[in-house]
């Protein structure tokens, strides 16, 4: 259980338990490296947003970033949505709030029940969009890669373009109250690489 002032206690795995879940669900090494870098970006943003007065639960951000691709290995080469699959696993383990963050790491809910101006799912979603493999990159570069890999059909290209526009709006929302710029996140590439 994890709690912070202003938050009801929620069930969350510890960092060590997150690493054990990565192992149990056979997360491939390159997916782990991606997840570790997403976690670094998400925590930099989460800490900056908390300092700016936003109510965010950093342990939920950390666990969500570490486990956002929990379902990726299992779903590779299948039509199964890895975000939904990973969320179902985590919900089944009793981590309901964490499951929601994982479920939304690709596509945010259009009308979330949570009324806060920024949610943990948004921080993790954005952090994931800034990490290409294990490097922090601009949204332009990240979406160019997504278009090259997944934009084979016109409908796929339209979906990616729509997601890019949504992510650009999210970037503006996240950085508006901060003394950081999106390019400042590139500094995460130089942080010590601990899991």
The answer to the question of residue 96 being in a domain is: yes
Specify the number of domains making up the chain. Answer: 1
What integer pLDDT is reported at residue 2 of this predicted model? 58
pLDDT, residue 195, reads 54
Q: How much is the CA Rg of the chain, to the nearest whole Å?
A: 16
Smallest CA-to-CA distance from 29 within 133, 106, 137 is with 133
Q: Answer whether residue 4 is part of any domain.
A: no
5 within a domain of the structure (yes/no)? no
CATH number of the CATH domain containing 44: 1.10.3210
Establish if 1 belongs to a structural domain.
no
Residue-wise pLDDT tens digits, 31-60: 999 999 999 999 999 999 999 999 999 999
Positions of the chain with pLDDT under 50 = 3-4
Looking at residue 4, its pLDDT comes to 47
Q: Does residue 50 lie in a domain region? A: yes
Range of the domain at 132: 15-110+117-190
Helices 120-129 and 96-103 pack at an angle, to 10 degrees, of: 40
- pTM value? 0.93
Instruction: Give the H or E element holding residue 135.
Output: strand 135-136
Which SS3 state, helix, strand or coil, does residue 96 take?
A: helix
């Amino acid at each position: 259980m994890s709690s912070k002032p202003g938050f009801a206690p929620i069930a969350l795995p510890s960092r060590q338990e997150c690493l054990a879940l990565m192992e149990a669900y056979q997360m491939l090494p390159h997916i782990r490296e991606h997840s570790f870098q997403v976690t670094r970006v998400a925590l930099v943003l989460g800490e900056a947003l908390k300092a700016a007065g936003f109510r965010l639960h950093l342990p939920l951000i950390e666990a969500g970033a570490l486990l956002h691709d929990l379902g990726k290995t299992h779903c590779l080469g299948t039509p199964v949505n890895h975000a939904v699959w990973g969320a179902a696993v985590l919900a089944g383990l009793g981590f309901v709030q964490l499951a929601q963050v994982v479920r939304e790491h690709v596509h945010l809910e259009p009308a979330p029940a949570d009324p806060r101006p920024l949610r943990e799912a948004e921080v993790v979603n954005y952090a994931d969009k800034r990490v290409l493999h294990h490097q922090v990159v601009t949204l332009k570069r990240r979406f160019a890669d997504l278009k090259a890999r997944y934009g084979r059909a016109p409908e796929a290209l339209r979906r990616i373009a729509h997601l890019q526009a949504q992510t650009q709006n999210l970037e503006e929302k996240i950085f508006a109250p901060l003394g950081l710029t999106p390019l400042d996140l590139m500094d995460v590439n130089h942080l010590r690489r601990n899991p």
